[in-house]
Structure 1
């Protein structure tokens, strides 16, 4: 991916070594949807997605987290990008976040809407978010309550070394996927999801969660579509994203960890599904193409 020397987002909080963490490890928290900004862009295009939430589901199944809510303090980096560091990964993530801002700001503006960009929080080991406490073991996540993405950059080493999904565009796909959850939040999908979460069993909740996650993959594909149009995608980049989607599919992860799969427990989608929906967003470049609420997925 062509990223060096380009604009970096200033919507970054660096809490590594700051006061934003909590003692201990392994705690995991629910994602509680906060108030959205109305249906906006997606409400004009995929109303069916909101109707589908009438089935209800606990949003903790979106991210595989559970626990309690906590307040937090942060050490906020000032100026563009992440200050006081020469780490190229920091600069890369800040550039990718800037790309997502450019893509979604234009798309919202084209629909007569304003895009409220999320903040990306960098942390080490553990963090206290508006959605509660989380550890690095939770992986990257999005908190609707404060509209922030949370990433421990050690996840990218795990992605490469343990999950065989190396490459800068694989990392970019992870960021763009979490931004996809932000799009769902500010367009009213996650708040509707939270409001209608009660009254279903775990298997049905997981099935609905898969549709949410695949839509976020599709939104990541839209980002890749527009980034390619801007001339920043290099040969092999899309293959890196598709490989990452394959390696973090529920079936692939379950086979690797326990030797067999339990489809009713899937909450992100199979490898094939994740690749299909990322590719759909990338090839069609249309929010309408990302409606996972209807039919087979």
Structure 2
């Protein structure tokens, strides 16, 4: 079936922040996204790619790329953070209206560890009262996206309060939010992505393709590495090099009639060289092709 299109996110070029001296320049990243064989892109951190038109539109059209989604993060335990998140959602939505395939804004939760240092910044366990606030604010952000005619897709994530299958299902029970289902984060959190997708396909309109090396994960657990440290040790790998059977995942998508984009992400921050991401992205695209994507 040809109903699934494959895009890629700036994460695969080591981009975690709007600006950082260790990140690939945006124009090189966008050039290489096309060269590596992908048809669509996510915005990544708001402000990394140009976030005004016609600058963004011209840059994408010059490379023959579609914009698929925007991304925004926030601390769902903090109402003030969600105030700011909703303001950014409004800005992203205003930009996305010029891109007919960009139907999603990915809602990223704050981690309970620092993204660069791995130091724990808040308790990984929530009280019942905190969980109620968390769900209220996830719903609030998703509703704000919906007010613009777009879909807010919550992204379960490493080292956040919603990463295991039990936590994800609890969130789905307590909100009506849709998921941005990330295969690599799901495996990292101890889940099995094919069966989970089959069970919850009706809540999964948008997918991130990521692979996880469970041998590195085992070493991480044994030696108590931070996620930031584990990334430098190669815990997230190009699709087809880790633990996930992407041919089986593709079969499950077909059986459920998935119709849309899958977007490859690979955590690479910080890249040791700006020459590193392109061949990795190319290999990942070829592996996905062999798996039917």
Judge same fold: TM > 0.5, yes or no.
Answer: no
Which structure carries more strand by proportion? 2
TM-score by length of 2: 0.31
Higher helix share: 1
